[in-house]
Structure 1
């Protein structure tokens, strides 16, 4: 079967465009990690090695770029946060959950703050942030099922709300930035707090 040169050219352009799009997202994320200020289009384009025109050919505005970055982050975080030790003993489950959540917060805190800054301007952004919170919630339910399952529904809900609040991005940021804790020290605080918050683990 003959391959059309025109189709090859179209596929090549599409691949280059997608690669440019990815470089722009990565440049945006890199700049967020370097500075709390949301980067400008010119700064993002320069970091990515493209023109501002190229940026806006792929993203009509910076809000659209932030949504694309959120999708990229969600996919990356899900790939990195593989469920491990869900059936292990209490101490191992808490340590595993804290290590995974700590890595996520350490890597994606700058983006989370940028998304929160724009959340009132976009329903799509609100949807992305809800989806991220739901993923955290489901993981908490899974990792602490032995302790949560026997609880009455209202008490279980209150405990999950507290667990999510304890391990949110800003909790991590306060320990790391305000108090200067190392990642190990911050993780140890979460481990002790979660262990005290959860009810005793039922006997097997």
Structure 2
């Protein structure tokens, strides 16, 4: 006779252990990315998480799946930073300052994972879709935040302005300014505010 009462805790224990190990693997990937901003090897991930290499492929379908889970988990952690405070409210100069500060806070928080996401998106359709959704969301925020200025333009000119603002303040633009040109946060903020003020005048 099977003791079903004894089986249930055993099954629950395995599930809990699996969930803990999956979380440990995701945390390991994130920690390794933060340390050297590169895609870590599966051996390094296993060592950091305290699991075997083979177990990683029991928890995740592939390395692409693991990277996608890590990216999504990290972005979920910093979800509030994707929002623009008091979106669309107040005079233009205050709106521009809030918009720029929100973008800078976000990019500084997500930089290592965002770089990996963009690299992996080239051959990982799921990651590419996630990035496309995030980019569409951010362009929509620019449109909402600058609604009064856009309303004074023709639809074509309004679309031009949204595209320019979104591109100018994109992660890619920030990364180029910070990593290649060595601009500090204060310098990027000043440059962006100057450019946005000119564009929206």
Query: Which TM-score bucket, shorter chain as reference?
Result: 0.7 to 0.9
Query: 1:149 offset after TM fit, Å?
Result: 2.7
Distance 2:182 2:32 in 1: 22
Contact 1:74 1:132 in 2 (8 A): no
Q: What does 1:23-172 correspond to in 2, within 5 Å? A: 23-86=24-87, 87-172=89-174
SS of the residue 1:131 aligns to: helix
Deviations 1:8-53 (A, max 9, x none): 4433432332232222222212222222431101111222232222
Contact 2:96 2:193 in 1 (8 A): yes
SS of the residue 2:78 aligns to: helix
The 1:174/1:6 distance shift into structure 2, 3 A limit, reads: same
Aligned residues: 197
User: CA RMSD of the aligned region, Å?
Assistant: 2.1
* TM-score of the aligned structures, taking structure 2 as reference length: 0.86
Tell which deviates more after alignment, 36-45 or 15-24.
Answer: 15-24
Distance 1:35 1:127 in 2: 25
Contact 1:175 1:186 in 2 (8 A): yes
Structure 2 unaligned runs (5+)? Answer: none
Query: Paired residue for 1:202?
Result: none
Query: 1:105 offset after TM fit, Å?
Result: 1.3
The 1:80/1:169 distance shift into structure 2, 3 A limit, reads: closer
Contact 2:81 2:105 in 1 (8 A): no
Distance 2:83 2:135 in 1: 16
Query: 1:5 offset after TM fit, Å?
Result: 5.0
Aligned with residue 185 of structure 1, among 179, 187, 195:
187
Distance 1:185 1:111 in 2: 23
